[in-house]
Structure 1
Amino acid sequence: MQQDCDVGHITYERICQANNLLPRSQVKRQLWGKKLDLRYAGLLPAEVKAVAASLKRNNRIEEVDLSYNSVKEETATFVIEVLQSNTYITKLNLAGGSLDVTGAMACCKLLTQSTSLLHLNLSDCSIGDSEIGYLAQGIQVNHILLQLNLSKNKIGPTGAIQLSRALGENSTLVFVDLSWNHIRGGGAVALGNSLKKNKRLEELDISWNGFGFEGSIAFGETLRVNRTLKILNMENNRITWDGAPHLAKGLAVNRTLEVLQIGRNPLSMQGCEEILKALAKPTSRVRLLSLKDIPINTKIALKASDIAKHREFTLQHGGILNTRDVIGFQRQSSCTAGGRRSSAGGKPPAVKQAWGDQLQGTGERCSKSHN
């Protein structure tokens, strides 16, 4: 019985027998180690529960990966509730499962009570605005979690606002992944504002959302005051040529950001120039600017080379292409981080140079390390 208290393998075998399941050798073997890696193992719901029950007694396992198994709704809730009493697990991966409101409430309790969980991966778990509110409550009071992955979910503007309040109060998270969600408008603004309060976060991935013009303004203001963020991924966020100048204003005074990924956005040549101009400031610490799939002209490439003469700097881009294409008008309006705009009046400004359907640049880099 002492061995079962330490490992839980007897509990696992007993539950499998009661449910007419064949105990898996990989489970029994891994229960004696520090990591239980069962990703893509094809576990049935009953098998997942048997594994979870064994972990209630186990005091050796520190990492649990149950990603992309049958960890759906009721099963996910069971797993989370069982782990509430475990004080040894530091990493939990339930990616590819499905978390309903009941499961989110259980996760809130886990985050509130846990004294050991440092990494939580709930990617691709069908988490929407109804569920994220409960998770946000747990995140707000949690004082130990370091990394949180909520990518590939269904978090919209309302959910992002709730999560933003929690991030503004949290003092331990250093990495948050919110990529591939539905964050836009007020949610994007709220998230940007939360980083004005947060004093800990170092890496944020918000790629593949819809931050757009409002989000550009909010994050431009955030970059002015934030002193902890080192890596920011804003790829594919509908950030256009009129949002780029607002980001550039923040980048011009920021002294901590080291990596900015802003590719696959319709920035235009002018938008890219604005950002490069900001990063050319001697106080900037950005060493990597990714403009993936965005073509640049010779002027921008030369500017990047000039920056690289003075410090380590790499520019990733979608190829060098000197052309003149029309893509639209640059907005001439005042706008606050809350998204309110007022017309500046007057005639429409001249259309800006940019890239269009003709562009077929290949991926290239401009880089040079300063010796």
Structure 2
Amino acid sequence: MSQTRKKTSSEGETKPQTSSVNKFLRGSKAESRKENNDLKTTDSQPSNWIQKTAPSETAKPLSSEMELRSSMEKYEQFLQKLGKKAVNKCLDLNNCGLTTADMKDMVALLPFLPDLEELDISWNDFVGGTLHSITQQMHLVSKLKILRLGSCRLTTDDVQALGEALEMIPELEELNLSWNSKVGGNLPLILQKFQKGSKIQMLKLVDCTLTSEDGTFLGQLLPMLQSLEVLDLSINRDIGGSLNSIAQGLKSTSNLKVLKLHSCGLSQKSVKILDAAFRYLAELRKLDLSCNKDLGGGFEDSSAQLVMLKHLQVLDLHQCSLTADDVMSLTETSVHLSALEVFNLSWNKCVGGNLKLLLETLKLSMSLRVLRLSSCSLVTEDVVLLASVIQMGHLAKLRKLDLSYNDSICDAGWTMFCQNVRFLKELIELDISLRPSNFRDCGQWFRHLLCAVIKLPQITEIGMKRWILPASQEEELECFDQDKKRSIHFDHGGFQ
């Protein structure tokens, strides 16, 4: 087979191969059938594109076409076996339970996919230890733009082979190595081939056991990645120690749009370090600093540069042990984030009894679509304040509101809230579920909720787990479900 390809390549027959493969990758079975019919008549009536490229009718073009046809049929059979369909320039084998034999079949097919732009073999355990068989073929898929190898149990040999192969795919725009522990301690081996002018736009290294040395290396590398738009280093708890280097490198990534440092061992000091970098990240759209429990108190004397993030749409600070002073400081800054659409403060107990500190943010964030205040120890006064803000129309664009796991709100507070929730005309999801350990009887506020829902044209999901309905209110809900044409799911997990 390789000898035939070599002969046809030297005689200028590579163009028909590429053209035919492109047709197949478009995933059209009709085109595939037509192509097969054309190939059957090559002895007497060669197809138009063969006539254009072949200098004369010889056995070699026919042999090449037969070989290509056979390979494409094998490719289609390979995908069908895995329950996948051909997609233009994309080979998606994510979570397919690939075996060692499947890996060999895939590698054998790579030479016939020269225009491949996306390869995803994430969540396949048997990739680990065999990646070298793929990387040896990287020069055949040099147009690759997206490479996803998340949770593949990569070995140290795998990551070294990958590092040597990356220079063969200069068009690479996305690299995902998340959930591979052997990446940790070996990051320089993988990314050492990245040079200034690299086209990489998305780099995901979630839960890779990155070391402080890896973080330092990454900080030095970031200035080379001028096209970088997404950087996700979440669940790497040791990189907090090298945050100075990372933050210094971030100053050179002016195109960055997404920065995720969820559960990275950040401290109070980390906020000040990052704050110095924010002024250089004017294009940032999403900032995730969640699940850094030592972050609390860090915003008290900092966050001044957050106001520079004029395009910020998502700010996630859930489970950061924020203090009341943190919340106050964020409210002097967040009111200037006019593009903010998602604000997550869940699992920060200090918000309870202090929602008034967020009053200006709630009033002035006209673009807010998602507000999450789950498990914030909210009290009745907080919900009454929220109801008044809603009534005044300040949260008119809100689509998702999460007030779950706030068990200290009395029936009067829920009544006030449910009477005013009808003003959230764009609301799709509402969650007022109780904690798993708590069950309570629904008060009369439930009738107000049903009345409000009638006036909410887009709502589809209401979470109210562990609220117990008496028989009379359960009948009301059943009648409501029968009478209304819209499908609204009350997620109660079974009333008791």
TM-score range, shorter chain: 0.7 to 0.9
Name 1:317's counterpart in structure 2: 373
Give the Cα–Cα distance (whole angstroms) in 2 for the partners of residues 298 and 113 of structure 1: 54
Displacement of 1:243 in angstroms is 0.8
Counterpart check, 1:82 vs 2:137: yes
> The residue matched to 1:215 in structure 2 has which SS?
helix
CA 1:359 to 1:70, structure 2 compared with 1: closer, same or farther past 3 Å? closer
Deviations 1:211-245 (A, max 9, x none): 11232121111113332322111111234332123
Give the Cα–Cα distance (whole angstroms) in 1 for the partners of residues 316 and 204 of structure 2: 18
Name 1:42's counterpart in structure 2: 97
Displacement of 1:248 in angstroms is 1.7
Displacement of 1:154 in angstroms is 0.8
CA 1:108 to 1:9, structure 2 compared with 1: closer, same or farther past 3 Å? farther
Give the Cα–Cα distance (whole angstroms) in 2 for the partners of residues 240 and 119 of structure 1: 30
- Structure with the higher helix share, 1 or 2: 2
CA 1:169 to 1:185, structure 2 compared with 1: closer, same or farther past 3 Å? same
Name 2:220's counterpart in structure 1: 165
Counterpart check, 1:244 vs 2:244: no
Give the Cα–Cα distance (whole angstroms) in 1 for the partners of residues 331 and 166 of structure 2: 41
Name 2:328's counterpart in structure 1: 273
How do residues 177-256 of structure 1 correspond to structure 2 at under 5 angstroms? 177-256=232-311
Structure 2: gaps of 5 or more residues: 5-13, 22-67, 381-404, 410-416, 426-496
Q: Which runs of 4+ in 1 moved over 6 A?
A: 1-5, 12-15, 366-369
The count of residues paired between Structure 1 and Structure 2 equals 324
Name 1:302's counterpart in structure 2: 359
Give the Cα–Cα distance (whole angstroms) in 2 for the partners of residues 53 and 26 of structure 1: 16
Given candidates 119, 126, 138, the residue that maps to 2:174 is 119
Counterpart check, 1:290 vs 2:337: no
Name 2:38's counterpart in structure 1: none
Deviations 1:294-318 (A, max 9, x none): 242231242222223xx42354323
Name 2:386's counterpart in structure 1: none
Give the Cα–Cα distance (whole angstroms) in 2 for the partners of residues 275 and 73 of structure 1: 44
What amino acid sits opposite 2:191 in the alignment? A
Give the Cα–Cα distance (whole angstroms) in 2 for the partners of residues 9 and 103 of structure 1: 32
Given the two structures, how large is their TM-score scaled by the length of structure 2? 0.57
The question of whether the paired residues in 2 share the 8 Å contact of 1:192 and 1:215 is answered with no
The question of whether the paired residues in 2 share the 8 Å contact of 1:121 and 1:148 is answered with yes
Name 1:330's counterpart in structure 2: none
> The residue matched to 1:204 in structure 2 has which SS?
strand
The question of whether the paired residues in 1 share the 8 Å contact of 2:238 and 2:264 is answered with yes
What amino acid sits opposite 2:169 in the alignment? S
The question of whether the paired residues in 2 share the 8 Å contact of 1:77 and 1:99 is answered with no
Deviations 1:333-371 (A, max 9, x none): xxxxxxxxxxxxxxxxxxxxxxxxx97579x9x9989xx
CA 1:321 to 1:251, structure 2 compared with 1: closer, same or farther past 3 Å? same
The question of whether the paired residues in 2 share the 8 Å contact of 1:242 and 1:271 is answered with yes
Name 1:92's counterpart in structure 2: 147
CA 1:29 to 1:69, structure 2 compared with 1: closer, same or farther past 3 Å? closer
Give the Cα–Cα distance (whole angstroms) in 2 for the partners of residues 313 and 51 of structure 1: 46
Give the Cα–Cα distance (whole angstroms) in 2 for the partners of residues 276 and 28 of structure 1: 50
* Sequence identity percentage: 20
Displacement of 1:197 in angstroms is 1.7
> The residue matched to 2:222 in structure 1 has which SS?
helix
Give the Cα–Cα distance (whole angstroms) in 2 for the partners of residues 32 and 359 of structure 1: 46
Structure 1: gaps of 5 or more residues: 16-21, 324-357
CA 1:183 to 1:228, structure 2 compared with 1: closer, same or farther past 3 Å? farther
Give the Cα–Cα distance (whole angstroms) in 2 for the partners of residues 368 and 138 of structure 1: 52
Deviations 1:74-95 (A, max 9, x none): 3123223322331233222221
CA 1:162 to 1:306, structure 2 compared with 1: closer, same or farther past 3 Å? same
Give the Cα–Cα distance (whole angstroms) in 2 for the partners of residues 231 and 94 of structure 1: 24
Give the Cα–Cα distance (whole angstroms) in 1 for the partners of residues 81 and 127 of structure 2: 22
The question of whether the paired residues in 1 share the 8 Å contact of 2:197 and 2:224 is answered with no
Name 1:345's counterpart in structure 2: none
The higher-RCO structure (CA 8 Å, 6+ apart) is 1
> The residue matched to 2:125 in structure 1 has which SS?
coil
Name 1:58's counterpart in structure 2: 113
The question of whether the paired residues in 2 share the 8 Å contact of 1:128 and 1:159 is answered with no
Displacement of 1:30 in angstroms is 4.5
What amino acid sits opposite 1:292 in the alignment? S
